[in-house]
Amino acid sequence: MFGIGLNSLIKIGFRVSDHILKQQEIERSRTSAENARRQAEASREKAMEEAARHKRALLEDEIARNSVAVECPNCGSTGNRIRRNSTGFCQFCGTAIQISSSGTAVIADPIERDRALAAEEIRRKSGATGNV
């Protein structure tokens, strides 16, 4: 009557089951590949962050070696860190402070103050920060 026998139905069932199993295996492979890609990306990001931390630590070490903590000769503020052999500004009162190679702080003469102001303006425009 129907033209499809029991054997044909069983064969169709096996084919459908095989197809479903193959689709599930494809999905598992895709998921595995996506997880591997995410892990690789996370490893790259972690390596980049570690490299940036290392670079920052080296820069901070260099700044610490080449700069000194000074007391402002004008107001007495102690929160100033300025590179040796340069002129910086007191973070409290804005006084131009000239630092010798030995680390001695004096109020900068007008020419040095103007040079330091120009350098500060360049640093500000370039996005660099700090007195060092």
Q: Is residue 6 part of a domain?
A: no
Q: Is residue 90 part of a domain?
A: yes
3 state DSSP class of 80? strand
Q: Is residue 50 part of a domain?
A: no
Counting beta carbons within 10 angstroms of the beta carbon of residue 44, is it exposed (0 to 12), middle (13 to 18) or buried (19 or more)? exposed
Counting beta carbons within 10 angstroms of the beta carbon of residue 125, is it exposed (0 to 12), middle (13 to 18) or buried (19 or more)? exposed
Element of type H or E holding 55: helix 6-66
Q: Is residue 54 part of a domain?
A: no
Q: What residues make up the domain containing 73?
A: 67-126
Q: What type of residue sits at position 31?
A: T
| 20-65 pLDDT tens trace | 999 999 999 999 999 999 999 999 999 999 999 999 999 888 877 8
What is the rounded distance in angstroms from the CA atom of residue 93 to the CA atom of residue 78? Answer: 11
Q: Is residue 71 part of a domain?
A: yes
| 5-22 pLDDT tens trace | 788 888 888 898 999 999
Domain count, the chain: 1
